[in-house]
Structure 1
């Protein structure tokens, strides 16, 4: 894998060197963009869970019935075209309050920051952008864009997610999150494109690939390599989007290199879009002992999948989405599980202004809750929410 990436990088570098003069008429000027999204959320969840966390010492806190959740970013971006035809650009994304990203383990105010060079050879991205498998990944459609790690229900932001549940909340291979990396994306050829990423280490914004470790500990991924492919086009009158991704990485104490792969597709016709995706995780931890001497198997081996159907007409869109994720966790012969299903709607009020709504159910099960009936490790409930999304 490393030889392939090194060879690809060398070819790109050679293309840049032979492209001719690299002068530009003026410096890059940054422009503003971004979005602001706010939700008013109502939630009804297990009384036994609330009683359990109030009696526990894990510090999970109480669960509110009504809350306000926001997700806001300001983008600073700009580019220039050099005399040799190469485009050079920069993008910086500032978290602007109300951050709903429950997976961010460092609290960074700058979400992403990267530079890129693009030309006939494709595009090279260096910095804290998502890896190539995430950039190309296709998931189940949701009218309100309310799924994945930043989704209100899937992210555990409406129905509280017990801290012991280790199952993933997205089919994207986001193991490295926005760690520093280099990514290459090839030019599109008849709708097909391929790409890859190399991440030396993922202590920055790492997604805790197994256990409950913190960034920089032995529980984190390192030497991450990823490759991806994507197709977007039409077959007869049917719109087709499809993706595939593969990532491999090292974990201290693992018996072999860990690996993840994903697949996704969407089919669109006459306003309808049917789609789904799958993620498989093999962390190869073998029989590593659990911290604290519990004697179980520490592993995030498992899978996540989703499926959804959306219909759009004029300014309206409505969808139904189902998500399920399973992980082995810390107890032998047990599994953690997350299940979410929801109906979402969107009404476009004008350019960049959308009224959003979601109604759904989420259930979280830790393996210990199944064997000991521990109320603090199981929760489920319904949520109703409405939101306003502004893009600028």
Structure 2
């Protein structure tokens, strides 16, 4: 895969050199975009987690069951077309506050990349999601309240016990936004393919974890992956489908680990039915991360959802289940489950009123064996929010 991507990049570079003058008529001008999403959330969970810290450790005293959660980004983007027909562009995404960004509310640059596009497809260089994530199809949700940034799926309402290692999304987001090269081919009758190569995830301080909760987990020295996607209409039914594969090193093993993801959506007469699946197979062969003693992140995650949309309204139901082998020496299985119903009402261009009610439950392998409260938590959450896109 590495050789393929390097060869593709070399071909693009050669095309740029031989295509004639590449001077643009004017410099790139950046445009503003982005979104602001805020939720008012009420959550009720096990007593031992009512005063939990943001690391998922049970605390003391009484906790307020109502909170405000935000997710905000400002996008700076622009492009220009060169005299040889190539499009060159840039995109920078600024985390603009709220409780759901990866820094816990601190402003930071989330993604920053440049791209070159033409008849050959598109080459992206920088901190963008990998190709399998860009093409991945997940179960629908009316409020878009799923994945790593979802209030329940992301562990932002019901506290996640620190020992539970189950994944929160079917996207293969293991490398996060580490520096990488991604290629996306032109669409052909609805089909497209692509791939990414990450030469060193440590350059962006994004490590592939082996099930530990610290940044000292086993970093992948390199990652590569490929993906395929179809979007079109078959006998009047809208069809979206995707498949992805990612391969990476685990520090304590000479073997390589694999992740696979698949997703499908079918749409007809306002209804959308869809689901997706992610399989993680970490091939650590010795030490504390040995598959033999169960201390690894191998597991399975799947979701399913049904949504109905008519006019400005959308409603839907969503379910996610995730399991992993866990982090303790005793062979076992961690589990994370979410089910929720959501709604959306479009109040005007780029302005949506959102609502979700749902339940989340975490089970650590020790909790299943001994009913230990510190390793089990579950609860309900009710929330309403406002989403602005600009």
Q: TM-score, normalised by structure 1?
A: 0.93
Q: What is the rounded CA distance, in whole Å, between the counterparts of 1:170 and 1:234 in structure 2?
A: 27
Distance 1:302 1:290, change over 3 A: closer
Q: CA deviation at 1:205?
A: 5.3
Q: CA deviation at 1:236?
A: 1.4
Please show how residues 33-52 of structure 1 align to structure 2 within 5 Å: 33-50=33-50
Q: What CA deviation, in whole Å up to 9, does each residue of 1:192-239 have, x standing for no partner?
A: 100000001223353642132544x35122210010000111001000
What 5-or-longer segments of structure 1 have no aligned partner? none
Please show how residues 302-381 of structure 1 align to structure 2 within 5 Å: 302-331=299-328, 332-381=330-379
SS in 2 for 1:4: helix
Q: What is the rounded CA distance, in whole Å, between the counterparts of 2:333 and 2:105 in structure 1?
A: 28
Q: What CA deviation, in whole Å up to 9, does each residue of 1:294-334 have, x standing for no partner?
A: x9432001010000000000000001000000000123321
SS in 1 for 2:221: strand
Q: What is the rounded CA distance, in whole Å, between the counterparts of 2:320 and 2:108 in structure 1?
A: 29
Range with bigger deviation, 134-143 or 62-71 = 62-71
What 5-or-longer segments of structure 2 have no aligned partner? none
Q: CA deviation at 1:290?
A: 6.1
SS in 1 for 2:27: coil
Distance 1:80 1:8, change over 3 A: same
Distance 1:190 1:205, change over 3 A: farther
SS in 2 for 1:133: helix
Q: CA RMSD in A?
A: 2.1
Please show how residues 175-186 of structure 1 align to structure 2 within 5 Å: 175-186=174-185
Q: What is the rounded CA distance, in whole Å, between the counterparts of 1:151 and 1:42 in structure 2?
A: 15
Q: What is the rounded CA distance, in whole Å, between the counterparts of 2:42 and 2:213 in structure 1?
A: 32
Q: What CA deviation, in whole Å up to 9, does each residue of 1:96-135 have, x standing for no partner?
A: 1104035x59967000000111011110111000000000
Distance 1:310 1:169, change over 3 A: same
Q: What CA deviation, in whole Å up to 9, does each residue of 1:217-275 have, x standing for no partner?
A: 35122210010000111001000000000000001002510110100010000000000
- Total equivalences in the alignment: 384
- Kept after mapping to 2: 8 A contact 1:49/1:377: no
Q: CA deviation at 1:18?
A: 2.5
- The equivalent of 1:109 in structure 2 is 108
- Kept after mapping to 1: 8 A contact 2:257/2:282: yes
Distance 1:106 1:17, change over 3 A: farther
- In the alignment, structure 1 residue 21 sits paired with structure 2 residue 21: yes
Please show how residues 34-183 of structure 1 align to structure 2 within 5 Å: 34-50=34-50, 59=57, 61=59, 64-102=64-102, 109-183=108-182
Q: What is the rounded CA distance, in whole Å, between the counterparts of 2:127 and 2:157 in structure 1?
A: 28
Q: What is the rounded CA distance, in whole Å, between the counterparts of 1:143 and 1:33 in structure 2?
A: 22
Q: CA deviation at 1:64?
A: 3.9
- The equivalent of 2:384 in structure 1 is 386
- Kept after mapping to 2: 8 A contact 1:178/1:205: no
SS in 2 for 1:329: coil
Distance 1:355 1:374, change over 3 A: same
Q: TM-score, normalised by structure 2?
A: 0.93
- Kept after mapping to 2: 8 A contact 1:285/1:298: no
- Kept after mapping to 1: 8 A contact 2:163/2:327: no
Distance 1:278 1:94, change over 3 A: same
Distance 1:129 1:290, change over 3 A: closer
- Kept after mapping to 2: 8 A contact 1:300/1:327: yes
- The equivalent of 1:263 in structure 2 is 262
SS in 2 for 1:230: strand
Q: What is the rounded CA distance, in whole Å, between the counterparts of 2:106 and 2:97 in structure 1?
A: 11
